[in-house]
Amino acid sequence: MKSVIIIGNGPAGISAAIYLKRQNIDPLVIGKDLGALEGYESEIENYYGFAKPIYGKDLIRNGIEQARHLGIEVITDSVISVKPLEEGFHVITPHGQYETRVVLLATGKTRRTLHRTGFSKFKGKGISMCATCDGYFYRRKKVAIIGCGPYMMHELEYLKKISSDVTIFTDGNPLKYEVDIPVVTDKIIEFMGDEKLSAIKTENQTYPIDGAFIALGIPSSVEFASQLGVIIEKNNLKVDDNYMTNVPGLFAAGDVIGGKLQIVKAVYDGMNAADAIYQYLAHN
Amino acid sequence: MKSVIIIGNGPAGISAAIYLKRQNIDPLVIGKDLGALEGYESEIENYYGFAKPIYGKDLIRNGIEQARHLGIEVITDSVISVKPLEEGFHVITPHGQYETRVVLLATGKTRRTLHRTGFSKFKGKGISMCATCDGYFYRRKKVAIIGCGPYMMHELEYLKKISSDVTIFTDGNPLKYEVDIPVVTDKIIEFMGDEKLSAIKTENQTYPIDGAFIALGIPSSVEFASQLGVIIEKNNLKVDDNYMTNVPGLFAAGDVIGGKLQIVKAVYDGMNAADAIYQYLAHN
């Protein structure tokens, strides 16, 4: 069993890793490929220490190199699920699975969204970002899952248990998996309904739907946290003074916990979370 | 009158300047020449964003360049006094003087000391770091002032008012000023006394002394702050949640306010102090 898995290879995650390593703890950092990283696509001029503005992704790349230079293991993979164990957590990616005593969520806060007519209107009214959180409300109903990758497949497993009428919408992307349920590969045009979602309109057809679950890309920290029962306030994970959520051993740092969405704040969080995790490991 | 003078060109001061500039406030940063900078003489590997360890002074130099690149005025000078005005402050250096509404103390926390026998023993028992704080206790007594530069001359003015028996000890350095009081240029060997300081022993002679005021180099933030009546706890300037000391308009950030003596913490302080100063200027 590992001591600490850090999900996220940005400022908060890497800073935490650096400070854990100083405490003689070897964290495993799991983060996105830089190509898949959202944000960090502009020049940064307000993070102290760079004579000239630094391109966001270069800063992220530097951080990863910095961690590796200190002997920290940073792997490129997508965490699709975090599950509680009796002690610790089970972290699952498409390429591996790990057991760990502590998880630090530091994925940043890219809000997954679909820029289509009706999305905002029906979010929370038929459109959900979390199958394990909201799936139960749609048992035995007509359910759509929107996505095409490993995270979609993971969420699908759960949805299939609650409904026998599930359709995959890939929104124009190819599906690389063999499945035994209907698949719509058309691009989605609109989410339709009156008070609540009642249909999804694609380029070619309109499908009656009671609940649509978004499982595009990989889940955000807010989504992992929801699955684990973490208290979320205004879309931020609620943490105590020690950066721990209400789930013992589950810590969070950086943009996911709210506050100023600034690099230095994320780096500062990382340092403090590392110290708090060190204390937690020493006493548990 | 300026809006903000920042004393200190390290991580806290420069970070504050950068964030003030973003708020459309033009601070003046006054900081030491890098050659005179204490500390920052090792490689830094725990501040996020540098693939390879960065030499401390290079980081400081980068920060100053970064600020200038953003159009911030950063000058090399030594602040020897900060005095309160009816509104704002009067900031004095050997080369100029300024009036400003707000002062941010961000000098870091180099503790000025003299590595001589008896120094620690008699610090607070006859040896003082602040003439304007403690001078009164030595009125009409035999007083020594130890130093040779502009800060010594500044402190001397005050001491001459409280005692007619003041001697300058330059501790082996040349004195570049014309003065009308005794000057001892020998190196100091020992501070002597029983319960309290009673004499200073140099290479050549022993001088009876009741009070010795250290005015070497330039004053630290703790010393400025003492002069201004700032509450100091455990050698840290006490600030409120808005990084303001008990003196309205006098802010502090970085190592001087205590907490973790880490670069990222200083940078983080700087960002927050800038926001607080912005609010203060908007409401006063």
Look at B50 and A66 and tell me if their CB atoms are within 8 Å: yes
Report CA-CA distances (Å) from B26 to A60, A146, B102: 30, 50, 12
What structural domains and CATH numbers belong to chain A?
Answer: 2-111+219-283 (3.50.50.60), 119-214 (3.50.50.60)
Q: List, for residues A45-102, the tens digit of each pLDDT value.
A: 899 999 999 999 999 999 999 999 999 999 999 898 999 999 999 999 989 999 999 9
| Mean per-residue pLDDT pooled into runs of 10, chain B (284 residues) | 96 97 93 77 90 94 96 94 93 94 90 84 89 82 93 89 94 92 96 96 96 86 85 90 97 93 95 96 90
Mutation target vs A (from B34, B264, B265; most A CBs, 10 A cutoff): B264
Smallest Cβ–Cβ distance between A268 and the set B59, B62, B268 belongs to B268
In chain A, positions 67-126, which contact chain B (CB-CB < 8 Å)? Answer: 69-70
What is the DSSP code string of A200-248? EEESS-EEE-SEEEE--SS--HHHHHHHHT--EETTEE---TTSB-SST
B6 lies within 8 A of chain A by CB: no
Q: List, for residues A124-148, the tens digit of each pLDDT value.
A: 899 998 787 788 889 889 999 999 9
Interface A–B counts its CB contacts (< 8 A) at 98
**CA nearest to B229, candidates B209, B250, B260:** B250
Residue A43: list chain B partners with CB under 8 A: none
Residue A22: list chain B partners with CB under 8 A: 46
* pTM across the whole model: 0.80
Residue A261: list chain B partners with CB under 8 A: none
Look at A46 and B19 and tell me if their CB atoms are within 8 Å: yes
Residue B87, SS3 per DSSP: coil
Whether A4 has a pLDDT exceeding 70, the answer reads yes
Look at A267 and B50 and tell me if their CB atoms are within 8 Å: no
Smallest Cβ–Cβ distance between B49 and the set A59, A265, A268 belongs to A59
Complex ipTM over 0.90: no
Query: Searching chain A, which residue's CA lies closest to the CA of residue B20?
Result: A46
Residue A46, SS3 per DSSP: coil
Q: List, for residues A217-231, the tens digit of each pLDDT value.
A: 777 788 888 888 999
